[in-house]
Amino acid sequence: MKSILAYILTPVYLLTFGLLLVIFHPIQMLCWHVWGYEAQKRAVEVMNFLIIKSQWILGTRVAFKGFEKLPQGVPLIIVSNHQSQYDIPPIVVGFRKHYPKFISKIELGNGIPSISYNLRKGGSALIDRKNRSQAIKEIIKLGRVIEANKYSACIFPEGTRSKDGIVKTFKVGGIDTLLKTAPSAFIIPFAISGNYLLQRTGFPMGFGERLTYTVLDPISKEGKTAEEITLECELAIKKELGQA
């Protein structure tokens, strides 16, 4: 029965998802040009909230945990595992008070309604994976922005999505650069569970899945190298997901 429902409802969800992106693109543009960044940010938050809520079409159950642990009034470096394109909405919504920015591949900066516009206007770092110098400069710029404004930056140190949900080895480079350029930032491990199930077979999407987004205990930087902090984040997320 779940399989039948998945085949029937997947096109409905994908149509809803696409419509939200198309509808909110001009809304973002209007907000940006008339009222500025804060209004555009609010439009993005509403869009991502609706994307999460629309997953009820697929019988999805969503839980947010641990957000009360977030320190206030300081920059944050959010270190997250990466399972699918649906990882972004819960970060936008859950960390909305912390103005989350993303480190994203440069290809996503054009051609995708709403998403590309927000990446460009919202202050995220668009990096060219084939150009190490450009990537470092963009991350340095982002680190300085979150340090100066007490914003947050989200990084997926696996470098690519895990199609089976198994956490890959975290790369230290991006985290190291952010630590150097945002020295007062708190390190927040963030565990994403279940998102890979939505796209495991491509079509249809997963039906009746449980998705959980968990803020783990902030990690102290005191006396630790970037390599040690990165490994600690990786192990904390693996433990939360039952992989350690």
Residue-wise pLDDT tens digits, 26-39: 999 999 999 999 99
Domain that includes residue 217, residue range:
2-240
Tens of pLDDT, residues 137-171: 999 999 999 999 999 999 999 989 999 999 999 99
Instruction: Quickly tell me which residue has 């697929």 as its tokens.
Output: 58
Helix (H, G, I), strand (E, B) or coil at 99: coil
Split at pLDDT 50, 70, 90, the class of 3 is: confident
Instruction: Quickly tell me which residue has 């990084």 as its tokens.
Output: 155
CATH number, position 45: 3.40.1130.10
* Angle, in degrees to the nearest 10, between helices 132-149 and 173-181: 40
CB 174, CB 103: distance < 8 Å: yes
Closest listed residue to residue 96, CA positions, set 118, 114, 117? 118
Q: Enter the pTM of the model.
A: 0.95
d(CA 101, CA 142): 8
Name the domain count of the chain.
Answer: 1
**Percent of the chain at pLDDT exceeding 90:** 95
Q: Which residue type is seen at 16?
A: T
Q: What is the pLDDT of residue 8?
A: 95
Q: How is residue 241 written in tokens?
A: 């997901």
Beta carbons within 10 angstroms of residue 243's beta carbon: 13
Q: What is the pLDDT of residue 34?
A: 98
Q: What is the pLDDT of residue 198?
A: 94
CB 28, CB 120: distance < 8 Å: no
Q: Give Cα separations from 180 to 74, 141, 146, 223 (angstroms).
A: 15, 11, 12, 14
Residue 113 CA, chain-centre distance (Å), reads 17
